[in-house]
Structures are given as structure tokens and as C-alpha cells.
Amino acid sequence: MSEQPNIILINCDDLGYGDLGCYGSTLNNTPHLDRLAKAGKRFTDFYMASPVCSPSRGAMMTGCYPPRIGFGSFNGSIVLFPGDGIGLSSSETTVATQLQNAGYSTKIIGKWHCGDQPEFLPTRHGFDEYFGIPYSNDMGRQSDRPDRPPLPLLRNETVIQAQPDQRGITERYTDEALQFINKNQDGPFFLYLAHMYVHVPLFVPQQFLERSKNGAYGGAVECIDWSMGILMDHLEQLGLSDNTLIVFTSDNGSRARDEGGSNQPCRGTKATTWEGGQRVPCIMRWPAKIASETVSDAIVTSMDFFPTFSKLAGEAVSTERIIDGHDVSGLMFDEADYSANDTFHYYAQNRLEAIRVGDWKLHFQKGDTEISELYHLREDVSETTNRYSDRPDIVAVLSQKAQAIREDIGDEACGIVGKNIRPIGRVDNPKPLTEYREDHPYMIAMYDLPDMPTMSG
């Protein structure tokens, strides 16, 4: 068996902390993901570096908090939009570049959302191949947004279809994944599968919709689960299961509105720095190395993937630039000498809104409003009992740690510009990947399910 594991990273879109059976859901049927968790390690305190998707995904790829790489804000928006002239800088190193340098075949399938201009696409950031929709599925032509450019489906850097039938996208993505695994079964390979689901609008295949107990949302979750089952079975059939690390997670919390998502028992939703906005499911399975039926309550983040996957691949992490992630391989393997990171910073755009140190979380800001709230997350994950007044000692310690990160990467709420930030990538004369043509025979010229809220990502 090769010392380098195959690595499959599966990242859902807007899947909430409480949306899987193994995280407490009684609405969504997720037998394959529950089986994945039983065969590996489930993390209870796993965080994405942002509560919305472009900064979340940029952070996961680079191992850095979004403001460090210029991903705190995008021309005043919270995420990137079609045709923006900004994106992930060519000077940044991604986890895919690390693994490519270590001899891995690399592919991303699905949502990228780190820039749609050629200079920002995945094929310029360490991925040998790309197949997918480069941003959110509500960013095409749809009933409440008819003036948007058609939704592009790319192969590498070429648009191969505009306005595809979204009900078939997950099946197409899964098939692409199987083909990639087949082609690279002698390994090592890195597959990043970034699902379209459960971002709205929810176009769901009929069979999943019919058996769902939770409407279209539940059907979309079950479709993700189906895809996981197909991948696990295929790895088993090829004899690759034992030496393949599977990591399953979500880019931020659920919107948890009327469509059926859940962040329970966490407070808050996507786009907030309450726990429900950034604490998400994370499951890791690697039969050769990770003990089955294990659970960790250590603080782990998506930024940790960069140094951890690099370590597993035998690729050194450069010391020439700062990254914020930590190697958590010792935690994955239950090694006694592992020293856990105990601190996490909650950024909303370029504002530091909260900090967690150990079991304590201190909130400073929510949008433009200052707040003073302290919670003990181990006892109060729902953030209901404010301990600010009775624990000034904890407030002082966390405030001091927060000041250090402000000086490092900044805090707009305090007017502080960080000392160690890097610029976002920029191009001249950007344009959308597609333009609408009345004479083109689109599969679906206009999506008919509106995305009523204005928030995207």
C-alpha cells in the first residue's frame, strides 16, 4: 500500500450542523453518511473560516483566514459574482498545488467560487481538471433574476453548457468522480467534490423528492447521501477503500429558513458568526489509519486541511508566507502527543465579531452593532446564557488574544489594518463567462424556482 493516501474532500453548500442523521437529524434520511461516520471519526466542534461561501472556500484552499488573502470583502459584496474582476491571487498556494507537487492527480468537481475569470479558475490553482458550475446555482437566469448571464457548466476552462438541468447535476458530478477515480486508481489522487446542494433554489430529482420527509431540502440531502454511497461502493469495488481518506463537510451553516435546513442545537444561520453560521458537520474516514466509531470535540477548522493533507502527502509547507491552519493528523490518528489548537476567530467580512478560546466564546460585534456577550460553549452550545458580567477574567484573556489577531490581519470594526495581509487577485477588463442569446436552444432557458432572499453565496 502506498504511503500517500488518496484524498477525497467533499464539501456541501449550505448544509447545516443538524442536517445529518449522525448529527441528530430525524427529518433527513442519510444512511450512507451515517455509515461513513460510524466507520471513521466525527468532529463535533469543526468550523469553516467564514459563514458565507467565497471566503469560506478561499480559506479552505489556502489554509488562511479570509482577510489574510484579501477575501474578506469583494468590491463591497460578501461573495464573488459572475464577471467580477477579482479572485484568488495567482501568488497564493492552494492545497491542490501542494498535492500536485507531491505527485497527486488533482481534480475539482462542482462549485469553485473563488473567481470565474481564467486567471482565477481551478486549473490555475493546482487542479489538473475541472468540471462544474463555478459559483452558486442561483447566479444564472431565473424567474426572479432574468437579467443575469446564463449559468455556465465548465470543463476545465471551457463552457460546455449554459443553463443545464440542475436536477441532473449531482448525478453528472458523481459520474465525473467515478471516471476520475477509475483513471487514477493507481494513485495517488486528490478529488475535491463540491456539491451544488443544498443551496437554493432546490431542483431535486423526482425519486428523492417523492420519498423525502422534509420536502425538497430533504430530497437534496438524500441525493448527497446517495452520491456518498456510490463513491464508497466504488472505492470498495476497486480495492481503494483502505488507503483513501474521505473528508465530508459543508462550506457554512444552513440558511435555516422555510426550506427545511437545520443548525440545531446551534444558534444562528448562514452569514452570521453565531455557532450555526460556521460550526458544520465534518466526518473523516480512512480505514487504514483512523479508528472507527470515534468522536472528537477538539477545535478543528477547514484551514487545517492545507497543512494536514500536505503532511500526509509528504509535501513540506513553505515558511515564506503565513498560514493559519494546523496539522491535525495527530488528532485524526489519536496520537497521545497531539497538542490541540484551542483558538478560533470568527470573521464576518473584515470584521472580527467573536473569538473562541477553549470552551469560551466572546462576541464583540454583530454587523455594525457592538455587543458584549460571553458563552461557555461546552455547556451552552445554543449561546443562550450570557456570562459576560460574572467572568471578567475570561473576558480579559479572550480580549487580549483578539487584539493580537486584529494586529495580524485587521479588524474594520476597530479601524485596524492588519500587518500580515495579502492582496486579492485582480484582472483588467473582466467579463461574464456567458451571454444570453435568444436564438440559442438552452436546455432550460429560465429557471422557474425563485431564490427569494437576496443573500447568495
The residues annotated with a catalytic role in the active site are 53, 113
Question: Could you tell me the three cell numbers for 375?
Answer: 458563552
Question: Could you tell me the three cell numbers for 254?
Answer: 444552513
Question: Could you tell me the three cell numbers for 120?
Answer: 482565477
Chain centre to alpha carbon of residue 48: 7
Q: Which of 67, 22, 40 is nearest to 410 (CA)?
A: 67
Q: Check the CA dihedral 123-127-132-137 and report its sign.
A: negative
Please provide the DSSP assignment of 206-250 as one string: HHHHHH-SSHHHHHHHHHHHHHHHHHHHHHHHTT-STTEEEEEEE
Who contacts 20 (Cβ-Cβ below 8 Å, separation ≥6)? Answer: 28, 30, 33, 34, 37, 221, 281
C-alpha torsion 72→77→83→89, nearest 10: -10
Q: Check the CA dihedral 116-196-181-290 and report its sign.
A: positive
Cα separation, 265 vs 139, whole angstroms:
31
> Do 303 and 321 touch, CB atoms closer than 8 A?
no
Cα separation, 84 vs 429, whole angstroms:
10
